Amino acid sequence: MRLCIVALNTFKESIRNRVMINILLFALALILLSLVVGDWSMGHQVKVIKDFGLSAMSLFGLLIALFIGIRLMVQELEQRTIYVIASKPVRRWEILIGKYAGLSLTLLINIVFMTAALWAVGFVMEKTIDFGLIPAIVLMYVEILLMVAFALLFSLLSSPTLSAVFTITMFAVGHMSGFLRDYVVLYPDKGFHWLFKAIYWVAPNLENLNLKTSVVEHLQLQPHAFGYGLLYGLGYIFIVLFIAVAVFDRRDLK
Amino acid sequence: MKPIARKLVWTVCFIAAILTVVFSQIELNQHREIRFVDKRPVFLPKGKALAALTLGQRSLVGDWLWISTVLYYGRRVMDEDNRYYTYAVQQGRITEELGPALRHPDTVSTNPLLKVQSDLGHLLYRFESRGLVGYIYPMLDGVTTLDPHFIFPHVFGGVYVLMDTGEIDAAIALLEKGYAANPDSWELPFYLGWVYWMYKSDLQRTYQYLLEAMGKQGCRKYVGDLLRGVSQNMNRTEMTRIYLQGLLESTQSPEVKKRIEAVLRELPERGRQ
Amino acid sequence: MAESVIQIEHLSKVFKGDLGRSPSVGVDDLNLEIGPGEVFAFLGPNGAGKTTTIKLLTRLLVPTRGRISILGRPSTSWKSMESVGYMPEQPNLYGYLTGEEFLSFIARLFGLGPGVRKARIAELLDRVGLKDRGKQLIRSYSRGMVQRLAMAQALINDPSVLILDEPMSALDPIGRKEFRDLIFDLKKQQKTVFFSSHILSDAEMISDRVGILKGGRLIRTGKPDELMGEDVHSVEVTFMLGPDAPNLADMGIPDALVQDSRVLVRLDRPDDLSALIHKIESHRGRLVSVVPAKKSLEDLFLAEIGR
DSSP class per residue in B78-139: SSTTSHHHHHHHHTT---TTTHHHH--GGGTTT-TT-GGGGSHHHHHHHHHHHHHTTTHHHH
Question: Cβ contacts (< 8 Å) between A52 and chain B: which residues?
Answer: 60, 63
Distance CA A196, CA A200 (A): 6
Distance CA C219, CA C208 (A): 17
pLDDT at B116 over 50: no
Q: What is the mean pLDDT of residues C78-89?
A: 89
Distance CA A114, CA A30 (A): 11
Residue (of A96, A88, A105) closest to C103 by Cα position: A88
Is B147 in Cβ contact with A213 (below 8 Å)?
yes
Percentage of chain B exceeding pLDDT 90: 1
Predicted confidence (pLDDT) per residue in A205-217, tens digit: 888 888 776 776 6
Residue from A97, A140, A176, A245 whose CB has the most chain B CBs within 10 Å, to mutate: A176
CA dist B257 to A177, B224, B254, C15, C248, Å? 47, 21, 5, 80, 128
pLDDT at res. C117:
92
Question: Cβ contacts (< 8 Å) between B18 and chain A: which residues?
Answer: 235, 239
**Segment among A25-39, A58-72, C250-264 with least mean pLDDT:** A25-39
Predicted confidence (pLDDT) per residue in C177-230, tens digit: 888 888 888 989 999 999 998 777 777 788 889 888 888 888 888 887 777 665
pLDDT at A34 over 90: no
How many residues would you count in chain A?
A: 254
DSSP class per residue in C231-268: ---EEEEEEEPPTT---TTTTT--SEEEETTEEEEEES
Question: Cβ contacts (< 8 Å) between C150 and chain A: which residues?
Answer: 84
pLDDT at C303 over 80: no
Contacts of A59 (CB under 8 A, 6+ apart): A27, B57
Q: Please tell me what DSSP assigns to residue A55.
A: H
Compute the mean pLDDT over every residue in chain C, rounded to the nearest whole number.
85
pLDDT at res. A148:
94
Taking CA–CA distances from B156, the nearest residue in chain A reads: A42
pLDDT-derived band of residue A222, with 50, 70 and 90 as boundaries? Answer: low
Predicted confidence (pLDDT) per residue in C28-59, tens digit: 899 999 999 899 998 888 888 889 999 999 99
Q: Where are the alpha helices (DSSP H) in C156-191?
A: 173-188
pLDDT at res. A146:
94
Q: Please tell me what DSSP assigns to residue C270.
A: G
Strand order in the sheet with C256-259: C256-259, C262-267, C234-240, C286-293
In this structure, the number of other CB atoms found within 10 A of the CB of residue A172 comes to: 16
Predicted confidence (pLDDT) per residue in C222-255, tens digit: 887 777 665 666 788 888 887 777 777 777 776 7
How many Å lie between the alpha carbon of B213 and the closest alpha carbon of chain A?
17
Burial of C224 (0-12, 13-18, 19+ CB in 10 A): buried
Question: Cβ contacts (< 8 Å) between C74 and chain A: which residues?
Answer: none
Residue C88 identity: P
Cα A36-A37-A42 angle, rounded to 5 deg: 110
pLDDT at B98 over 70: no
How many Å lie between the alpha carbon of A30 and the closest alpha carbon of chain C?
29
How far is residue C299 CA from its own chain's centroid?
Answer: 15
Distance CA C34, CA C86 (A): 16
Distance CA B221, CA B12 (A): 59
Is A210 in Cβ contact with B17 (below 8 Å)?
no
pLDDT-derived band of residue B45, with 50, 70 and 90 as boundaries? Answer: very low
CA end-to-end span of chain A, whole Å? Answer: 27
Query: C239 φ, ψ to 5°?
Result: -150, 160
Q: What is the mean pLDDT of residues A76-98?
A: 92
Contacts of A237 (CB under 8 A, 6+ apart): A142, A145, A146, A149
Residue (of A216, A244, A26, A229) closest to A142 by Cα position: A229
pLDDT at res. A239:
95
Taking CA–CA distances from A3, the nearest residue in chain C reads: C109
Across the interface, of B14, B53, B152, the residue whose CB is closest to A44 is: B152
pLDDT at res. B145:
81
Is A252 in Cβ contact with C62 (below 8 Å)?
yes
Q: What is the mean pLDDT of residues C106-135?
A: 91
- Dihedral (Cα; B171, B177, B180, B185), 10-degree rounding: -50
Distance CA C251, CA C281 (A): 12
Across the interface, of A6, A16, A85, the residue whose CB is closest to C96 is: A16
Is A220 in Cβ contact with B184 (below 8 Å)?
yes
Q: Say whether C24 sits in a helix, a strand or coil.
A: strand
pLDDT at C67 over 70: yes
Note whether A167 and B37 are within 8 A (CB): no
Predicted confidence (pLDDT) per residue in B52-93, tens digit: 666 667 777 777 777 777 777 776 665 555 555 555 555 554
pLDDT at res. C108:
93
Taking CA–CA distances from A79, the nearest residue in chain C reads: C92
pLDDT at res. A252:
86
Compute the mean pLDDT over every residue in chain B, rounded to the nearest whole number.
69
Distance CA B149, CA B222 (A): 23
pLDDT at res. B196:
86
Burial of B134 (0-12, 13-18, 19+ CB in 10 A): exposed
pLDDT at res. A47:
76
* Strand pairing class (C286-293; C234-240): antiparallel
Report the run of H or E that residue C211 belongs to, with start and end.
strand C209-214
Predicted-complex ipTM score: 0.85
- Cα atoms in the Cβ-side hemisphere of radius 13 Å centred on A234: 10
pLDDT at res. C17:
73
Residue (of B197, B250, B195) closest to B222 by Cα position: B250
pLDDT at C263 over 70: yes
Is B63 in Cβ contact with A48 (below 8 Å)?
yes
**Segment among A162-171, B88-97, B101-110, C50-59 with least mean pLDDT:** B101-110
Note whether A244 and A156 are within 8 A (CB): yes
CA end-to-end span of chain B, whole Å? Answer: 96
pLDDT at res. A104:
92
Q: What is the mean pLDDT of residues B203-219?
A: 81
pLDDT at res. C159:
92
pLDDT at res. C138:
93
Is A175 in Cβ contact with B70 (below 8 Å)?
no
CA end-to-end span of chain C, whole Å? Answer: 30
pLDDT at res. A241:
95
pLDDT-derived band of residue B272, with 50, 70 and 90 as boundaries? Answer: very low
Residue (of C93, C95, C104) closest to C149 by Cα position: C93
Note whether C195 and C34 are within 8 A (CB): no
Q: Say whether C294 sits in a helix, a strand or coil.
A: coil
pLDDT at C97 over 90: yes
Predicted confidence (pLDDT) per residue in A46-67, tens digit: 777 788 788 888 888 888 778 8
Predicted confidence (pLDDT) per residue in A121-153, tens digit: 888 777 888 888 888 899 999 999 999 999 999
* 0.80 surpassed by pTM: no
How far is residue A233 CA from its own chain's centroid?
Answer: 10
Residue (of B36, B37, B18) closest to B28 by Cα position: B36
Residue (of C98, B54, C9, C82) closest to A210 by Cα position: B54
Is C79 in Cβ contact with A252 (below 8 Å)?
no
Cα B84-B96-B164 angle, rounded to 5 deg: 50
Residue (of B19, C58, B14) closest to A246 by Cα position: B14
Contacts of C28 (CB under 8 A, 6+ apart): C12, C49, C215, C216, C217
Across the interface, of A37, A175, A208, the residue whose CB is closest to B25 is: A208
pLDDT at B113 over 50: no
Question: Cβ contacts (< 8 Å) between C62 and chain A: which residues?
Answer: 250, 252
CA dist C193 to A172, C39, C171, C208, C224, Å? 54, 5, 19, 10, 16
In this structure, the number of other CB atoms found within 10 A of the CB of residue A25 comes to: 10
Q: What is the mean pLDDT of residues B251-273?
A: 61
Q: What is the mean pLDDT of residues B98-106?
A: 43
Q: Say whether C271 sits in a helix, a strand or coil.
A: helix
Which has more pLDDT, A88 or C243? A88
Note whether C292 and C235 are within 8 A (CB): yes
Residue (of C89, C289, C107, C305) closest to C217 by Cα position: C305
Percentage of chain C exceeding pLDDT 70: 92
Contacts of B96 (CB under 8 A, 6+ apart): B78, B89
Note whether A136 and A212 are within 8 A (CB): yes
Note whether A205 and B32 are within 8 A (CB): no
Residue from C19, C60, C156 whose CB has the most chain A CBs within 10 Å, to mutate: C60
Q: What is the largest CA-CA distance in chain A?
A: 62
pLDDT at res. C8:
92
Taking CA–CA distances from A204, the nearest residue in chain B reads: B21
